Amino acid sequence: MKLPKLSDIISAQSILKDVVKNTPLEHSKSFSVMSGAQVYLKLENFQSTGSFKVRGAYNKIFNLSKREQKNGVVCASAGNHAQGVAYAAHRLQVKSKVFMPIFAPPLKVIATRNYGAEVVLKGDSFNDAYDEARNYIKSSGYVFVPPFNDPHIISGAGTIGLEIFNVFPEVHDVFVPVGGGGLIAGIAIALKSLNPKIRIIGVEAEGAQSMKLSLEKGTLHTLKSVHTIADGIAVKSPGPINFEAAQKYVDDIVTVNDAEIAQTAYTLLQRAKILAEPAGVAAMAAVLFKKCNIKGRNVVPVVSGGNANMSILEQILDKGVMEEGLRARIAVLIPDQAGMLKTVMSILELKRASIHDIYHERSTTSVPVGYVMVTITFNLQDTMQLPDILKEIDKYGFRYQILK
């Protein structure tokens, strides 16, 4: 397979014109102050299906022959690619079948079905679902739509680069999340063709840095395992054609850890009211945590998707509120007597703290006989409330521990 050219990406833009959204490029004063750069967010989380994936999927299916389209398409995915293929196939009136692992989030399974695809749940992992999909095409005649290693997929993703340049040709740096590499390959080809001085910086999760290691070694490198909350970029090895594009057009690859990803997701929601999934905020995390020198530069992080797993989102919000000092969790050891718990509750009520949840424990060996350990999570009005609450608890002589 050959790398697509700028003309291929322009052709894809024409194909996608009435199908996908030209997503916003929004300047953020808050993030500009926090990073020391002028930050403009490319919001692909507002895209149809909630991520950039539909761009490549539609371009791929559109460019199939009439015979191939008649046979139908198949893919394997645990999330965004599945929805992109299902949506694109429905728009083009092509049959689609999507193989997903049985652990796939129910909301993503439902969304994929609602876009018109037949969903088959197979295997405990993405690789199991992928193998099932590849086996299926051997006997069915369906055409496989890969998630990232394909010229049409790359060209479709590259239309994001054209949109950025059309609105903001003064851009200096574009930060792009990297999984298999299709997104950064397309954006890099587009922008480097239009202005070679624009820096293209890839961002990988620290627990899945296959592209970074491949570029350092000068050859494709496959990780033994990946571990990150950013499941959308948790890829063991980049696509060969995307690796070639990265060698040719990408200036640098940096990494962000899960704590930085989680904090960025929380900050985006809190400060900008933007809901994005962990993989979708990786580029923004690299900007906020200043993974390279961007002081005074015009910077565009690509927010690639907004299909957040609700259980992960709940943890991110809980952790974010606690780190901001607006929620606290304490374990208080009190006598197992009537009225003792009410005493603690009255302290929280007096200090205008609202209880989030409460848990009692008597049976563990760490709790002395005659006592009960009460773990209370409560919301605060401001960051100065907690010291006042602890002073009141001290007056009663209760032993306590602040939990993180």
Domains of the chain by residue range: 6-52+154-317, 55-144, 326-403
Other residues' Cβ atoms within 10 Å of the Cβ of residue 105: 18
Q: Do the Cβ atoms of 356 and 327 come closer than 8 Å?
A: yes
CATH code assigned to 6-52+154-317: 3.40.50.1100
Q: Do the Cβ atoms of 348 and 392 come closer than 8 Å?
A: no
- Residues 144 and 99: their CA atoms lie apart, in Å, by 11
How far apart, in Å, do the first and last CA atoms of the chain sit? 51
pLDDT digits (tens, 9 = 90+) for 54-99: 999 999 999 999 999 999 999 998 789 999 999 999 999 999 999 9
Fold for the domain defined by 326-403: Alpha-Beta Plaits (3.30.70)
> For residue 166, what pLDDT is reported?
98
In 296-392 the beta strands, taken as DSSP E runs, fall at 298-303, 327-335, 354-361, 371-379
Distance of CA 218 to the CA centre of its chain: 27
pLDDT at 127 over 80: no
Same CATH fold, 326-403 and 55-144? no
pLDDT digits (tens, 9 = 90+) for 338-391: 899 999 999 999 889 999 999 988 877 788 889 999 999 999 998 889 999 999
Instruction: Provide the annotated active-site residues.
Output: 53, 304
Q: Do the Cβ atoms of 286 and 256 come closer than 8 Å?
A: yes
Distance of CA 227 to the CA centre of its chain: 14
> For residue 108, what pLDDT is reported?
84
CATH code assigned to 55-144: 3.40.50.1100
pLDDT at 119 over 80: yes
pLDDT digits (tens, 9 = 90+) for 2-40: 999 999 999 999 999 999 999 999 999 999 999 999 999
> For residue 324, what pLDDT is reported?
87
- Residues 256 and 284: their CA atoms lie apart, in Å, by 10
Q: What is the SS3 assignment for 361? A: strand
pLDDT digits (tens, 9 = 90+) for 305-345: 999 888 889 899 988 988 888 999 999 999 999 899 999 99
Angle between helices 182-194 and 151-167 (to 10 degrees): 50
Helix (H) or strand (E) holding 11: helix 6-16
> For residue 244, what pLDDT is reported?
97
Taken in order 275, 148, 255, 232, the sign of the CA dihedral is positive
Q: By percentage, how much of the chain surpasses pLDDT 70?
A: 100
Q: Average pLDDT, stretch 390-403? A: 92
Alpha helices in 240-339 (DSSP H): 240-249, 258-272, 282-288, 310-323
> For residue 101, what pLDDT is reported?
87
pLDDT at 46 over 90: yes
> For residue 117, what pLDDT is reported?
95
- Residues 221 and 213: their CA atoms lie apart, in Å, by 7
- Residues 298 and 35: their CA atoms lie apart, in Å, by 11
- Residues 232 and 251: their CA atoms lie apart, in Å, by 22
DSSP assignments along 107-169, one per residue: HHHHHHHHTTPEEEE-SSSHHHHHHHHHHHHHHH-PEE--SSSSHHHHHHHHHHHHHHHHH-T
Prediction pTM value: 0.90
> For residue 300, what pLDDT is reported?
98
Helix (H) or strand (E) holding 201: strand 199-205
Q: Average pLDDT, stretch 122-127? A: 79
Q: What is the DSSP letter of 4?
A: P
Taken in order 144, 184, 301, 59, the sign of the CA dihedral is negative
**Residues with Cβ within 8 Å of residue 399, at least 6 apart in sequence:** 332, 333
Length reported for the chain? 404
Burial state string for 155-176 with b = 16 or more CB within 10 A and e = fewer than 16? bbbbbbbbbbbeebeebbbbbb
- Residues 305 and 283: their CA atoms lie apart, in Å, by 11
Q: What is the CA radius of gyration of the chain?
A: 25
Which amino acid, 32?
S
- Residues 358 and 351: their CA atoms lie apart, in Å, by 17
Q: Which two tokens stand for residue 387?
A: 């010291």
